[in-house]
Homo-oligomer: A and B are copies of this chain.
Amino acid sequence: LKMNVNGRAQRTIWLKKKNPQTVQIIDQRYLPHKFVVEALKTLNDCCCAIKDMHLRGAPLIGVAAAYGMYLAALGSPKGFSHSKWSQWMQKAAKTLISTRPTAINLFIGVERGLAAVQKASSRTEGISMLREAADGLAEEEVENCRRIGEHGVAIIEKIYRKKRQTVNILTHCNAGWLACVDWGTATAPIYAAFNKKIPVHVWVDETRPRNQGASLTAWELGQHKVPHTLVVDNAGGHLMQHGLVDCVIVGSDRTTRAGDVANKIGTYLKALAAWDNGIPFYAALPSTTIDWQIEDGVNEIPIEEREGEEVTHIQGLSGRKIQKVLLAPKGTKASNYGFDVTPHKYVTGIITERGIASATKEGLLKLFPEKKILR
């Protein structure tokens, strides 16, 4: 089973069938109002798509970066010597890395590309290896998400067996298939439960600014017919105080080896409310999102600051036209941090492709013992 749009299987990123030198993506800026496919033909196209958030979500950013390396190789002058080509690719890597600071997957995607560059003996071989590397990472992330669903569904099943009524799950931002290649991270257990006919209902935080909850998660769940209700980001605490949330599942843009979870701004506030009301709070993420180099998320994860205009203005549909409107007094200064960090003490568990880990160094290393050498 794959995620669907209007009943047809759909991924977020793929090579154009008739021309595999073009990468195609869903341009998510127009959702839920318009379904737009964008063709990325150059490294620059790819960097713009990442930076200006035509696509977003940690796993997808990683895969897009790997395809960005492939596009950079395609764009390299044919006559280049191997060492010149290698330099070209190093520069491309730096350009890609500078697009967004928080998601660690960006680095993973670029590193996969650089590893291919190192192994290749020529530009031509390099291009084909870079394509394989990107395709490989995409497939790996699809499989990671599928397994996150398999492991995570156990949490929902357990609640259902006890409650015998609809399981209410709150999620923040979009950690759905639109944030990945297929399936999603936070949504994978939800889709898995839904497919198993466990009654689920999702509280969708609208997720200001950029409203990825209202525009992407609500759309995804709607396409798949999963019952859901949209709420403002302010509502979660009240819902939890009144027993209307059984479980919180979110994604992550970077998670430290100690289990501190960086995710879309506002996640930390939901974690606190879950903690205060004794509600389990899970982060679902592929291991490509774990930064094994760092421990203290609040102090070590760089938090992206974006344009204040994303706060003072908002985009929506007026009639048939997508329109931007001003929300604040003209000239109001706004500050726009993209992410926050939830300290691991507020995280009940981390759902990965290998199972559910406690949000501790020990818990994560138990599932990923090969990472011990990194420390």
CA distance A211 to B337 in the complex (A): 19
- B interface footprint on A309-325 (CB within 8 Å = 1, 0 otherwise): 00111111110000111
Cβ of A276 within 8 Å of any chain B Cβ, yes or no, is yes
A:189-241 near B, CB below 8 Å: 203, 206-209, 211, 214-215, 218-219, 222, 228-239, 241
Cβ of A20 within 8 Å of any chain B Cβ, yes or no, is no
Cβ of A333 within 8 Å of any chain B Cβ, yes or no, is yes
B208, A335: Cβ atoms under 8 Å?
no
Q: Which among A6-14, A62-70, A265-273, A279-287 touches the partner chain?
A: A265-273
Cβ of A97 within 8 Å of any chain B Cβ, yes or no, is no
CA distance A272 to B240 in the complex (A): 13
CA distance A269 to B234 in the complex (A): 7
B266, A235: Cβ atoms under 8 Å?
yes
B316, A326: Cβ atoms under 8 Å?
yes
Q: How far is the CB of A328 from chain B (nearest CB, A)?
A: 4
B273, A238: Cβ atoms under 8 Å?
no
CA distance A317 to B328 in the complex (A): 9
CA distance A234 to B303 in the complex (A): 14
CA distance A141 to B303 in the complex (A): 43
- B interface footprint on A52-88 (CB within 8 Å = 1, 0 otherwise): 0000000000000000000000000000000000000
Cβ of A341 within 8 Å of any chain B Cβ, yes or no, is yes
A237, B298: Cβ atoms under 8 Å?
no
- Residues of B near A340 (CB, < 8 A) are 234-235, 237-238, 241
Most-contacted residue by chain B among A273, A303, A315, A337 (CB, 10 A): A337
B241, A311: Cβ atoms under 8 Å?
no
Cβ of A329 within 8 Å of any chain B Cβ, yes or no, is yes
Asked, given contacts A316-B313, A337-B238, whether A328 binds B230 with beta carbons under 8 Å apart, the answer is yes
Residue of B whose beta carbon sits closest to that of A329 = B32
B209, A232: Cβ atoms under 8 Å?
yes
Interface size class of A (residues with CB under 8 A): 35 or more
Asked, given contacts A208-B208, A276-B272, A318-B318, whether A266 binds B232 with beta carbons under 8 Å apart, the answer is yes
Which residue of B235, B314, B332 contacts A222 across the interface (Cβ within 8 Å)? B332
Q: How far is the CB of A173 from chain B (nearest CB, A)?
A: 9
- Residues of B near A5 (CB, < 8 A) are none
A327, B234: Cβ atoms under 8 Å?
no
A229, B334: Cβ atoms under 8 Å?
yes
CA distance A264 to B316 in the complex (A): 24
CA distance A276 to B219 in the complex (A): 34
Q: How far is the CB of A232 from chain B (nearest CB, A)?
A: 4
A206, B316: Cβ atoms under 8 Å?
no
CA distance A83 to B264 in the complex (A): 62
* 24 sample A-B contacts, Cβ–Cβ < 8 Å, listed by A number: A206-B327, A207-B234, A208-B232, A208-B234, A218-B328, A218-B329, A222-B329, A229-B333, A229-B334, A230-B334, A230-B335, A231-B311, A231-B334, A232-B233, A233-B233, A234-B266, A234-B340, A236-B269, A238-B303, A238-B339, A238-B340, A241-B298, A269-B273, A272-B273
Known: A231-B311, A237-B268, A318-B325. 9 other contacts (CB 8 A): A32-B329, A218-B332, A222-B332, A232-B311, A234-B266, A234-B269, A239-B337, A242-B298, A314-B325
